[in-house]
């Protein structure tokens, strides 16, 4: 092997190693949390639009998922996880961690308030989705980079 080829292979090996991020890394954990929240939102939207029948258990489970995620989501952004795993997290999170935490808590509050007076039908679910959707957007606008 020529020296140049060896150097290139070594560089590739280094790149390969840093591209591998373990499943328990915070970047992966927080994306998985958001995937769950996205799934929960999808389930609620399906009911709100009448594509799925109203089901109190699904409404409860979806809101509980949002509430649960909001409790630990903001912990998944330790220093050093600004990049990696194709993260869409904006650097602004680390500049405004208190505000980011407040926005996380806001989603939890909205989900818990809705759980406490559970929507009893399709119209109720639709009405509840407005404020919850605003909380998703309020955070994504500032803190999620759309790739
Ligand atoms: C406090 C901030 C915050 C709130 C509130 C929030 N998100 Fe997110 N969301 C993020 C961030 C940050 C990412 C990017 C995470 C990453 O890539 O590391 C994200 C990513 C996502 C993703 C992509 C996950 C993936 O990688 O596949 C979905 C889907 C999503 N959010 C849905 C929602 C929905 C639906 C809501 C509201 C019910 C919501 N989010 C509320 C901050 C938030």
Please tell me the predicted confidence (pLDDT) of residue 27: 95
Mutate to test the pocket of ligand 1, among 21, 34, 101 (most ligand atoms within 8 A of CB): 34
Torsion of CA 129, 131, 135, 138, to 10 degrees: 120
Indicate if ligand 1 lies below 6 Å from the C-beta of 70: no
| pLDDT tens, residue by residue, 118-134 | 999 999 999 999 999 99
Please tell me the predicted confidence (pLDDT) of residue 28: 95
Please tell me the predicted confidence (pLDDT) of residue 146: 85
Mutate to test the pocket of ligand 1, among 36, 76, 86, 140 (most ligand atoms within 8 A of CB): 140
Indicate if ligand 1 lies below 6 Å from the C-beta of 38: yes
- Tally the C-alpha atoms within 13 A of residue 142's C-alpha that lie toward its C-beta: 16
| pLDDT tens, residue by residue, 37-69 | 999 999 999 999 999 999 999 999 999 999 999
Burial 115-146 (b: 16+ CB within 10 A, else e): beeebeeeebbbebbeebeebbeebeeebbee
- Taking only Cα atoms into account, the Rg of the chain, rounded to an integer number of angstroms, comes to 20
* CA pair distance 140, 7, nearest whole angstrom: 41
């Amino acid at each position: 092997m020529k020296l140049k080829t060896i150097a290139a292979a070594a560089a590739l090996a280094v790149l390969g190693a840093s591209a591998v991020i373990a499943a328990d890394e915070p970047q992966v954990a927080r994306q998985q949390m958001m995937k769950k929240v996205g799934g929960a939102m999808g389930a609620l939207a399906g009911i709100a639009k009448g594509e799925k029948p109203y089901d109190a258990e699904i409404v409860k489970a979806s809101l509980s998922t949002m509430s649960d995620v909001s409790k630990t989501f903001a912990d998944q952004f330790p220093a050093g996880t600004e990049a990696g795993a194709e993260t869409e997290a904006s650097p602004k999170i680390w500049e405004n961690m208190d505000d980011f935490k407040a926005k996380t808590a806001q989603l939890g509050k909205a989900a818990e308030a809705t759980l406490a007076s559970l929507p009893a039908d399709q119209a109720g679910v639709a009405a509840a989705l407005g404020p919850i959707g605003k909380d998703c957007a309020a955070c994504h606008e500032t803190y999620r980079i759309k790739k």
